[in-house]
Chains A and B, each alone.
Chain A
Amino acid sequence: MQSTAHAFKDNVDRALVDDNLQQSLAILKVGFSERRRQAVERLPEFEALRDRARDIKNHALAHLDLYLEAFEAKVTALGGQVHWAPTADDACRVVLDICREAGARTVAKSKSMIAEEIALNAHLEAHGIEPVETDLGEYIIQLRREPPSHIIAPAVHLTKDQVADTFHEHHRKLGFDRRLTERPDLVAEARAVLRRRFQEADVGITGANFLVAETGSSMLVTNEGNADLSNTLPRVHIVIASIEKVIPTLEDAATLLRVLARSATGQEWSSYTTFNTGPRRPGDLDGPEQYHVVLLDNGRSSVLGGDMQDMLRCIRCGACMNHCPVYGAIGGHAYGWVYPGPIGSVLTPQLIGVAEAGSLPNASTFCGRCESVCPVRIPLPKLMRHWREREFEHHLTPAAVRQGLALWAFLATRPRLYRWATGLANRLLALFGRADGRYAWLPLAGAWTRYRDFPAPQAGGTFHAQWKTRRGAGR
């Protein structure tokens, strides 16, 4: 998708005045975090599992080439095919070729962030193949021609009324005349529409939560069951997954699953957790005749072994955005590309460049709530800070900020001069009057005083000036 990450501030302005969005975010801010909290409370081993989950992913990344080879050997032995895609374009081309060879007209898709990352739908449509999103949220935003605003709840920015309008507009031609108002009816109508689409689809495309090297299995975690229909009914099943999804064993999958659903939705376990291993076997009554796995790199291999490698541990649970007060204020679309929230602020500059997405890692208070809930303990604030450092090194930081910092650093490393400057500032502020105890306006502080008063300094001078008078110089 076309990035608007460079226009982050404009995106934010729009988001903050979007009433529907703000209404949806109000639910998100309390719902997800409360459900996660309860789930964590129910499992005493949760923190230890997070440590182990982190270690498993670190081990897998440190041996990534070897586990990918092992995974490939298993899939191939079972009659599946593994395709290697260094770039997004390569992945799109591979998928299109498979679809064409299968004579596909429609494709049933189960929500995949990798498909969003490589803009697969646009590529298929441009070549006359219709992709049908089958996850309810993803289906809704496909009808609306919008990108997802959350990695596990793509339509979380929409209200029920907006969904009702969208269905009414698009389902009329399918014979559903009535505008529905109740949630169960909306879900039932989507189920009926999509059931037909599943049955006519020639190819099913899914992502993967994990790839298990031990067995050659691709794993899918959903609540709706749409991924399972996508990999059971069509003749061809294509899995698209990025390389860092590979993990060693089924036991390792168990550990990661124990932290995934709890972190994501606060569930003990997602409704459907599925291990797919190759095409239909002799004697099977259903299942695809062809099974393909497309392994995407798209810049990830270059992150390995460096100071940003931690981001590759991500298991895409969405907990960081569910707990991020910035995401809670602006929603996912403002981030301007596929991955929103704290993990997006770390991944996006890597995937589309820090010049385009440099605002994202800056738009954080470093409150650390994301890191405190990350199931694989990704130090998200630290990684955001790394990006800020790269921006600073490459002179992408705004000139005014650089100059301000240079002046500040000049003073901060010269304590005597600093004392003089703070004393001066203290007296200057006094000139603006401190009778009210605060200022509604101050020169150069418009960004603060637009929304808040600015507390006046206490009378009597700075602490250090007073301390010197009282006790003499400390040392």
Chain B
Amino acid sequence: MTVGLFVTCLVDMFRPSVGFAAVKLLEDAGCRVVVPDVQTCCGQPAYNSGDRADARAVARQVIAAFEGFDHVVAPSGSCGGMIAHHFPALFDDDAAMQARAEALAGKTHELVSFLVDVLGVRHVDARLDATVTYHDSCSGLRELGVKAQPRALLSGIAGLKLAEMANPEVCCGFGGTFCVKYPDISNAMLADKTRDIAATGADTLLAGDLGCLMNMAGKLQRLGSSVRVRHIAEVLAGMSDLAAIGEPETAPAGPAAAR
């Protein structure tokens, strides 16, 4: 089975290790992984700003680049949700494009739910001696039904203890451009979230979307919290020895660290 990996613009730019973790998890589960070179972004910045024309232009590019694969996987519920949930609606005046968008939507998945629901992965070999709390990122949760799958795989990680926070399904205040358009509201939401995280006593925060993770990590670190923040893919791929998000690196990240 050939999987096209939609890396996401944030992973590409800020945390390539998430992409390598995704590749490892997919290859370990028997997939052939291809990373199309023409991908940039899923189009959400335009789509969520009301700029439909540019969102469509980006969507066309994504569709053309990815429609040939058996499946398309993104280490993000947000970008996965954009393709799987919103692309078809972008072409409601263009039947041919809409059909292609729907075909792509039907085979696009968020990484962890793909591992569990499609590939039937029940266990990954990894260890993390930590008390972990898991934040349900909004698009993954509500558009793609990502909820039980990450918890199922985390429960099999050696040394890992899960401590649920009070409101794991409430938004962290990231929201893409929202967090800089309305920074004060975003901060108030984020303050609630970091309070809930702290109350668990967990030393590690995980989620499946880098945007939310950067938002929460930035706040926790501004508050002087020692909670480490990681993308769940890194933990599942056994890459927990990497510096956490926003932490100083001791050795360069990337393929060397990923192997």
Contact = CB atoms under 8 A, between A and B. Distances in A.
Interface of A: 9, 12-13, 16, 29-30, 325-326, 328-330, 362-369, 371-372, 382, 385, 387-393, 397, 401-402, 405-406, 408-409, 411-413, 415, 418, 422, 425-426, 434-438, 440, 445, 447-448, 450-464, 466-471, 473-475
Interface of B: 7, 9, 11-17, 19-20, 34-41, 43, 45-52, 54, 57-58, 61, 89, 138-139, 142-143, 167, 169-171, 173-190, 192, 214-215, 217-219, 221-222, 243, 245-249, 252-255
Nearest to B180: A447
A388 B50 contact: yes
B243 A437 contact: yes
Contacts of A474: 34-37
A252 to B, nearest CB: 28
Contacts of B139: 366, 368
Given A448-B180, A452-B222, A462-B12, A412 B249 contact: no
A331 to B, nearest CB: 11
Contacts of A9: 182
Nearest to A359: B182
Contacts of B7: 463-464
Contacts of A460: 16, 252-254
5 contacts: A369-B142, A448-B180, A452-B218, A455-B246, A460-B254
A390 B50 contact: yes
Q: Give the interface centre of A387, A406, A460 by most chain B CB atoms within 10 Å.
A: A460
Given A13-B184, A365-B178, A453-B222, A409 B51 contact: yes
Contact of A330 (B38, B175, B188): B188
Contacts of B48: 366, 385, 388
A188 B215 CA distance: 48
Nearest to A471: B35
Q: Would you call the interface of chain A mostly helix, strand, loop, or mixed? A: helix
A390 B249 CA distance: 45
B43 A466 contact: no
B54 A464 contact: no
Given A438-B221, A448-B180, A452-B218, A470 B255 contact: yes
Given A16-B184, A364-B175, A397 B57 contact: no
Contact of B16 (A406, A415, A455, A463): A463
Contact of B187 (A328, A382, A397, A451): A451
B49 A388 contact: yes
Contact of B14 (A330, A362, A455): A455
Contacts of A329: 185, 188-189, 192
A452 B190 contact: yes
A392 B51 contact: yes
Contact of A385 (B47, B246, B249): B47
A464 B182 contact: no
A418 B185 contact: no
A365 B178 CA distance: 6
- Across the A-B interface, the 4 shortest Cβ-Cβ residue pairs: A365-B175, A452-B218, A388-B50, A392-B50
Contacts of A365: 138, 171, 173-176, 178-179, 186, 189
Contacts of A325: 170-171, 173, 189, 192
Nearest to A382: B89
A415 B38 contact: yes
A418 B253 CA distance: 22
Contacts of A330: 185, 188
A367 B52 contact: no
B215 A422 contact: no
Given A362-B182, A393-B50, A453-B219, 10 more contacts: A326-B185, A363-B181, A367-B175, A385-B50, A389-B50, A392-B51, A405-B46, A409-B54, A412-B43, A422-B9
Contacts of B183: 447-448, 450-451
